Chains A and B, each alone.
Chain A
Amino acid sequence: MPDGSLNDRGIASLIEPGRVHRRVYTDPAVFELEMQRLFGRAWLFVGHATQVPNPGDFITTDLGRQPVLMTRHHDGSVRVVLNRCTHRGIKLVAERQGNRQRLICLYHGWTFDPDGTLLRVPVDEGCAPGFKLCDFNLAKAPRVGVYRGFVFASLSPAGIAFDDWIAPMKQNIDDIVDRAPGGEIALDAGVHRYLVRANWKMQAENAVDSYHVPFSHASTVNQKGVQFSRREGDNEGAKVVDGQRTAPQWKQRRSYSVGHGHCWTSNTELKENERSSAVYDEYRRTLEAAVGKERSDWILTPRMHNSLLYPNVSFMGLNMHIRVIKPIAVDLTEVNIYPVRLLGAPEAMNERNTRLLNVTHAAASFVQSDDLEAFARAQAGLQSLQTDWVDISRGLGREEAIDPPGALRQMATDELVVRGQFRAWLDYMSEA
């Protein structure tokens, strides 16, 4: 039984093969430790290079709870620096995005370049003896990695190398980016922001949960058990329910756990041969012209539904978006959903995708709103002290080993992907 302390032994006692202790979702002390050891160490998604196209462009975000700036420096490089003046700790930039060639602190006017270099301090004759500008540059994220424009940072100088961390999930990023006839995407079509009165892990787990759909999302399914159409060119969505039961088609989905907490679920078969509309057909022709018919057909055959790059970002293939998880407190999380704009695609196709995302993943959407309700009610239910354990044992012992070594697969309605996340969680949360 958990002994209550948060030394390595205490932390390890919260995770068992098929269950986790309620405290991982409800204990503020566990959350504080997550901010240090998990969000303070792991590779985290920061933003996409297209959010800062020009020198001086910036976006602000938080890594864990730490305020950061992603900037485009004068030399064209993308930088990740802490959004904290090195003088008296002021958050340098308040806006969500903008352009500034110099970052000037509102309090005393200390002036920085977009890469964090301190350029000048007012009244420099007042500086202490030995004061050197270069000792007061903005703190940098110790490590930054970029894949296809997606910028990740680690706030720890040590830990798994970016290439090793991203390698198993490159295909999942490619799955979306390759759909752009120009071979690149942009995250410049706005954002959906929602607040969840629940622990951040609820959203991470839910992103790859295929078990909940027929029940949580029952109100999106018609009397034939088919969900509303979620893609341009489809007449209807996936078959989810058959009578009162989960549909056989739905049960064919598979989930994959590939280490580091990374995981994804495969897609449900939709009627690919019947997918057609003026807008979609035009997009398809554009992609074929860019990459050839054979490759285009391969790209447009859905393989992945949702992919989680543990711990803070997921990529969804069905309603194309990037979902960023921002923990605020043990029971409060902000989630940001960015539509993906396919560069080189007809704008009408991008407009349709963005529009459909309003009804699937806005705060006012048909799909996500029932998930938010589920998370909040989970957080409320977990206040019960009579039952300490949360069951994640579905499919335990039935995992199927696949390539590469260590990767596992099973029915997507099982809980392999949750167990995989907690394995990584335990690695990060251990002291060493």
Chain B
Amino acid sequence: MAGEYEQFLIHESRLLDERRFRDWMALFTEDGSYWVPATIGQRSPYGQTSLFYDDLELMRTRIDRLEHPLIHVQTPPSNTVHLIGSVTTEPGVPATDPESGLPASDVLVLSSAITAEYRLDRTRTFIARQRHWLRRVDGALRIVRKRVDLVNCEGAFEAIAVPV
């Protein structure tokens, strides 16, 4: 089973590398969210800044913009490569646990990700610990929450245009 989850994560990161943002968004459940905290060990996306905290509506607005011909910060676009590793699983969060603040899910998949991004003669690297809360819907895995803890999330960043 761990193999299936690893394949799913590799597939997900490949959609980002191929800039298939709508297909990427389609992996999320309707109540799904994508969270990149701005502090190490951040407990909640509410009431504190985050680099990203998108529900599906914000994700749609973000992707509309990524597809807009006049998005200057992606002219020219970034070229990225994700490397996903160290994939392990833990049990998910049962729907009967509203106190945990975590989304109901079947499984929690932990992984590490290294992403290289090249644009305009500069290459930078994002290194992150990832957590995917996954739910099986009609036989297919969907993302209920993706949390990406960048190793340098408390640092100052140049513009980040594409999901890391």
Contacts and interface: CB of A to CB of B under 8 A. Distances in A.
Interface of A: 96, 189-197, 215-216, 218-220, 222, 228, 334, 337, 339, 341, 347, 350-351, 354-355, 357-359, 362-364, 366, 368-370, 372-374
B47 A351 contact: yes
A219 B70 contact: yes
A423 to B, nearest CB: 30
Contacts of B39: 190
**B interface secondary structure, majority:** loop
A369 B161 contact: yes
Given A194-B157, A369-B159, A355 B72 contact: no
A195 B158 contact: yes
Nearest to B49: A190
13 contacts: A96-B154, A190-B38, A190-B39, A190-B48, A222-B64, A334-B156, A358-B52, A359-B58, A359-B62, A362-B51, A369-B73, A369-B160, A372-B73
A193 B156 contact: yes
A358 B73 contact: no
A228 B61 contact: yes
B49 A373 contact: no
B53 interface: yes
A362 B52 contact: yes
A363 B46 contact: no
Nearest to A357: B49
Nearest to A361: B49
B50 interface: yes
A351 B73 contact: no
Interface in B38-77: 38-39, 45-54, 58, 61-62, 64-65, 68, 70-73
Nearest to A229: B61
Given A334-B156, A362-B51, A191 B73 contact: no
A194 B64 CA distance: 23
A334 B158 CA distance: 9
B72 A197 contact: no
A364 B36 contact: yes
Given A339-B49, A369-B160, A193 B155 contact: yes
A346 B106 CA distance: 34
Contact of B65 (A96, A189, A220): A220
Contacts of A216: 72
A358 B71 CA distance: 18
A192 B154 CA distance: 9
Q: 4 closest A-B pairs (Cβ-Cβ)?
A: A190-B49, A219-B68, A363-B157, A369-B159
Given A195-B158, A370-B72, 16 more contacts: A190-B49, A191-B49, A194-B156, A196-B158, A216-B72, A218-B70, A219-B68, A334-B156, A354-B48, A358-B49, A358-B50, A362-B49, A362-B50, A363-B159, A364-B159, A369-B159
Contacts of B49: 189-192, 337, 339, 354, 357-358, 362
A200 to B, nearest CB: 14
A373 B45 CA distance: 27
